Amino acid sequence: MTTDKVINVGILLYPSCTLMDFAGAFQVFAAPVNNFTPHLIAQSTEITTSEGMTVKADFLITDNDMPVLDMLFLPGGSSNGVVPKMFDSAFLAFINDNVATWKGSVCTGAFILAASGILRNCTATTYWSVIPELRLLAEKYGLDIPVGYPRYLIDKDAKVFTGGGISSSIDLALDIVLKFQGLQTAQKTQLFIQYQPHPPVHAGDPAHAPEHITKDLLEFEQKGNEAYALAVEKLLHM
């Protein structure tokens, strides 16, 4: 799969998507030491993320002068951003109709990909606290959702990739560079962004976090997770 050709990556944004979900991947793909070129795509010129930052899109989904995409990358977001896109026919049509060979998501973007049908018969993951909600779609969509909290998964047969939560977009994008353009280019990319993480704490998923911390965060995220559960229920009856 290693190639030296320019690889156009369309990063598909929407209101209340999560900043680091796409900014981390964008930073990796934009490194001048590899041949990836990221493009921000949306339904409107400006998008406000779940953190309140406004980002300008490079292209609208209706633009005819958009580069031919090799890859479509969908960030996750808060439930009030993700759930409407799960049922937005124009948004889902763009995902399905785009010629990009590879399509994928990070974090809760997996729910939009599932709604579009892209995740049918794939191995997939999502943000740790809503893995149970994604698993409810397993039978209908033929999803294989591994036990635990994978940092990311790349389904080579389906040409689909999915990432866990937020910061995993960096690891996912770096592995994509590795698989498409080889070890040296991936290493140069890693060194260019000086990505050598040594976090001062180690509670990045429930397998590593203290039980009471996981419990507290689940309670904090309860309302949003209930919104995903309702959206999944709606999908199951469509």
Domain membership of residue 2 (yes or no) is no
**pLDDT above 80 for 1:** no
Distance of alpha carbon 17 from alpha carbon 103, whole angstroms: 17
Domain membership of residue 26 (yes or no) is yes
Residue 159's domain is classified under what CATH number? 3.40.50.880
Q: Which amino acid is at 90?
A: A
User: Would you state the pLDDT for residue 238?
Assistant: 85
Q: Using pLDDT thresholds of 50, 70 and 90, give the confidence band for residue 213.
A: very high
Within its chain, how far is the Cα of 221 from the centroid? 19
Distance of alpha carbon 5 from alpha carbon 92, whole angstroms: 28
**pLDDT above 70 for 2:** no
Count other Cβ atoms within 10 Å, centred on residue 6: 11
Please indicate whether residue 17 is annotated as part of the active site: no
| Number of domains the chain contains | 1
**pLDDT above 80 for 121:** yes
Count other Cβ atoms within 10 Å, centred on residue 35: 15
Span 169-192, pLDDT tens digits: 999 999 999 999 999 999 999 999
Q: Give the domain extent around 129.
A: 7-236
Task: Please give the average per-residue pLDDT across 26-44, as a whole number.
Answer: 97
Count other Cβ atoms within 10 Å, centred on residue 61: 19
Distance of alpha carbon 208 from alpha carbon 229, whole angstroms: 25
Within its chain, how far is the Cα of 153 from the centroid? 11
Span 57-110, pLDDT tens digits: 999 999 999 999 999 999 999 999 999 999 999 999 999 999 999 999 999 999
Domain membership of residue 49 (yes or no) is yes
**pLDDT above 80 for 229:** yes
Percent of the chain topping pLDDT 70: 99
User: Would you state the pLDDT for residue 3?
Assistant: 65
* Residues 40 and 9: beta-carbon distance below 8 Å: no
User: Would you state the pLDDT for residue 169?
Assistant: 97
**pLDDT above 80 for 44:** yes
Of 166, 138, 136, 135, which is closest to residue 148 (Cα–Cα)? 135
Domain membership of residue 1 (yes or no) is no
Q: Using pLDDT thresholds of 50, 70 and 90, give the confidence band for residue 148.
A: very high
Domain membership of residue 53 (yes or no) is yes
Which distant-in-sequence residues (6+ apart) come within 8 Å of 195 by Cβ? Answer: 170, 174
pTM score of the predicted model: 0.95
Domain membership of residue 33 (yes or no) is yes
Q: Using pLDDT thresholds of 50, 70 and 90, give the confidence band for residue 4.
A: confident
Q: Using pLDDT thresholds of 50, 70 and 90, give the confidence band for residue 5.
A: confident
* Residues 135 and 150: beta-carbon distance below 8 Å: no
User: Would you state the pLDDT for residue 27?
Assistant: 98
Domain membership of residue 159 (yes or no) is yes
Which position among 107, 112, 160, 166 bears the catalytic label? Answer: 107
